């Protein structure tokens, strides 16, 4: 991996990390965090699968460490580490696989991936919460599972908006950066 590519990846991790550690009260309430978009983007554009998984993992880990440190000084910050967190890492990493099936040159596929990632994360994470703890004390019945999904709908909404928006930004910037190089190659 050359230095400029490594720098771009480091910048992406930094931007996503910084955005994620901003307290919820200080960012738009309708806009979710960019980590799912980063996972889809990495899966689509990074050919080395290990590195593709590493990008969203690094962003999550760095932001969680920073959130943990900040929460020890200011209770307005959520703790970075919590019980059951490992499953969220696994689920976010699993959305990287969605990117493997996306052509970075096809906007319809990018949009489909940007919708699929938060939906898959929503379905699996809420199922896991219900199966492990019963959600918000929901019964372990079909009705309890349905109520757990209903409880999570506000998070799905913000996750969808954030993932679509951030995917557009990530893929759009990559396309804009590649455009001059393609035009120069044709000249």
**What are the sequence ranges of the domains in the chain?**
3-186
**Dihedral angle, C-alpha 117, 120, 122, 126, nearest 10 °:** -150
Query: pLDDT tens digit string along 39-76?
Result: 999 999 999 999 999 999 999 999 999 989 988 888 76
Least confident of 19-23, 134-138, 150-154, 182-186: 182-186
Nearest to 77 by CA among 89, 85, 66, 88: 66
Point out the least confidently predicted range of 72-76, 90-94, 101-105, 139-143: 72-76
Tokens of 186: 């044709």
Contacting residues for 182 by C-beta, under 8 A, at least 6 apart: none
Q: Degrees (nearest 5) of the Cα angle 155, 156, 161?
A: 100
| 102, 110 contact by CB (below 8 A) | yes
Neighbours of 152 (CB within 10 A): 20
Residues 6 or more apart whose CB falls under 8 angstroms from that of 77 comprise 21, 23, 67, 70, 71
Model confidence pLDDT, tens digit, residues 152-166? 999 999 999 999 999
Neighbouring residues of 124: CB distance < 8 A, sequence distance ≥ 6: 91, 94
Scored b (16 or more CB within 10 A) or e, 111-120 reads eebbbbbbeb
pLDDT confidence band for 180 (50 / 70 / 90): low
- The pTM of the full predicted model, rounded to 2 decimals, is 0.87
């Amino acid at each position: 991996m050359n230095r400029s590519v490594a720098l771009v990846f480091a910048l992406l991790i930094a931007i996503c990390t910084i955005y994620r550690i901003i307290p919820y009260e200080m960012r738009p309430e309708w806009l979710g965090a960019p980590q799912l978009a980063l996972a889809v983007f990495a899966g689509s554009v990074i050919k080395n699968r290990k590195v593709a998984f590493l990008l969203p993992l690094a962003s999550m880990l760095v932001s969680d460490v920073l959130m943990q440190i900040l929460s020890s000084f200011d209770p307005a910050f959520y703790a970075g580490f919590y019980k059951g967190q490992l499953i969220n890492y696994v689920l976010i990493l699993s959305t990287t696989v969605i990117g493997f099936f996306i052509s970075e040159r096809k906007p319809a596929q990018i949009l489909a991936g940007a919708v699929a990632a938060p939906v898959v994360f929503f379905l699996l994470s809420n199922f896991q919460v219900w199966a492990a703890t019963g959600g918000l004390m929901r019964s372990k019945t079909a009705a309890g599972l349905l109520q757990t999904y209903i409880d999570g709908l506000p998070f799905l909404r913000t996750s969808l908006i954030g993932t679509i928006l951030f995917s557009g930004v990530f893929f759009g910037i990559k396309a804009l950066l590649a455009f001059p190089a393609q035009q120069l190659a044709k000249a």
